[in-house]
Structure 1
């Protein structure tokens, strides 16, 4: 199934013809407050228990065209945004030139795979804009796009074995990890408000298929910049989930950005980012 969060934190199923509101089919109270979002985390952690009733509600309901609803980020207030660094070999290679240009040196430690945290408040949805921070622009720092496969955690846990890691995945989405190229910690440079667009919906893992075979593509104002298949990931999705869970307990609804493909580049006000992932959809984001 494909799920959106739309309008006032309503849960929708994407079907032919648009979106069907399936909020009423949830077996627990729906709190529209996105900060508490308990119903959302319960859906991620217990999807197997409610799959059939949500599917039935989607089949019985009347769809509303997508252009008549406001799509929110398809995740609500996750406890954390985990991001993978240096996870495509060609991106690692291009970062040597990027860092020489933007920092005047290469930070070798940043060329190794690892995970770090982004602020959940940087999340926005497919109907929102990326807003470049005024101080960053005035300082002359480049701000780059990174189009990535996003994983949404289901049951979660600690020390999850790689062999069973995909059983802990609720679904997948498209993500943009927007990044200031400057000195300082990754987490700060990637955590400005609007720097984590996710959308347009979550495709559940049972429908999405093999996460090692997604085609990712991004154009910036019509110019192709990123094009890669996730088979090129250095550390696979199961290995990322397992490794992250060895550091921190993954909770239902947590979000993992799986790493930037090659082709990252600067964005400026007025740019339009069109990003797509096979079987997961596409979204268009304006830069302001």
Structure 2
């Protein structure tokens, strides 16, 4: 099932057909009052946790409802107030290699400890949706610091848990979406330079695991102003999704609706005000985002 949040965080089922891409409002099938406030929308976390039990009702509501042509301008980020955004560092070998040059240029030397796979946290307030611009902080732009794009496969946690065994990890995954991990290149802590508002664009849809199938061979791509910068397959991940989920859960309890950015592919590069980014993941969808200064 392909899910979207739109308007005042209504829940929709997205389908491709003769009429193009359509969305059907299935909010009433959730079985809970709709709370449009993302800060208090516990229905979303309950949906992530209980999706297997709700799937039949959501599918029936989609079949019986009135499908509308999808207007991308109405889409919101397909996540509401996650307790945390977990992000992976150094999870593609070619990206690790290119970061030596990036750090030499932006830091004056290589931080060897940053060349190993690990996870860190981003602020949930950095989330933005398909209809929003990426806003570069004026003080960072004025300081001449580089701000980079990183297009990534994002895991959405369904049934949470702690110390999840690797061979059961996918049982805890609701689905997948596309995210950009926007990053200031500086000596600051990762969480600080990746957590500005709009630095975690997400979307356009959440594709459930049963719909997507195998996530280990997805194509990720990103163009800046029509020029290809990133192009990779998820089979090249150093640490694959089941191992990421297991590892993250060994140090923090994963809760329904939490997000895991699985790591930047090679080809990261600077973005500046006026740029236009087009990112996509096969079987998930595309984001087209403008960049401006705040």
Shift of 1:63: 1.3
TM-score by length of 1: 0.99
What is aligned with 2:41? Answer: 37
What is aligned with 1:90? Answer: 94
What is aligned with 2:116? Answer: 112
Q: 1:224 aligns with which of 228, 234, 245?
A: 228
Q: Could you say what the CA RMSD is over the residues aligned between the two structures, in angstroms? A: 0.8
What is aligned with 1:145? Answer: 149
What is aligned with 1:180? Answer: 184
Matches within 5 A, 1:182-261: 182-261=186-265
1:15–1:58 Cα contact (<8 Å) kept: no
Residues 217-256 of structure 1 deviation map (CA, whole Å, 9 limit, x = unaligned): 0000101000000000000000000000001000000000
What is the CA–CA distance in structure 2 between the aligned matches of 1:278 and 1:253, rounded to whole Å? 22
SS of 1:46's partner is helix
- Which structure 2 segments of 5+ residues have no match? none
SS of 2:37's partner is coil
With 15-24 and 225-234 compared, the bigger mean Cα shift is at 15-24
What is the CA–CA distance in structure 2 between the aligned matches of 1:68 and 1:209, rounded to whole Å? 25
With 11-20 and 212-221 compared, the bigger mean Cα shift is at 11-20
With 61-70 and 185-194 compared, the bigger mean Cα shift is at 61-70
- Relative to 1, partners in 2 of residues 1:217 and 1:121: Cα closer, same or farther, differing over 3 Å? same
1:263 has 2:256 as partner: no
Shift of 1:68: 7.0
Shift of 1:284: 0.4
2:87–2:120 Cα contact (<8 Å) kept: yes
2:72–2:131 Cα contact (<8 Å) kept: no
SS of 1:110's partner is helix
What is aligned with 1:24? Answer: 28
Residues 168-219 of structure 1 deviation map (CA, whole Å, 9 limit, x = unaligned): 0000000000000011100000000000000001000001111111100000
SS of 1:106's partner is coil
What is aligned with 1:46? Answer: 50
What is aligned with 1:286? Answer: 290
2:162–2:252 Cα contact (<8 Å) kept: yes
2:73–2:130 Cα contact (<8 Å) kept: no
What is aligned with 1:6? Answer: 6
What is aligned with 1:15? Answer: 15
Aligned residue pair count: 288
What is the CA–CA distance in structure 1 between the aligned matches of 2:6 and 2:119, rounded to whole Å? 30
What is aligned with 2:107? Answer: 103
Shift of 1:30: 1.7
TM-score by length of 2: 0.97
2:169–2:245 Cα contact (<8 Å) kept: yes
Shift of 1:69: 5.5
SS of 1:131's partner is strand
Residues 250-283 of structure 1 deviation map (CA, whole Å, 9 limit, x = unaligned): 0000000000000000000011110110111111
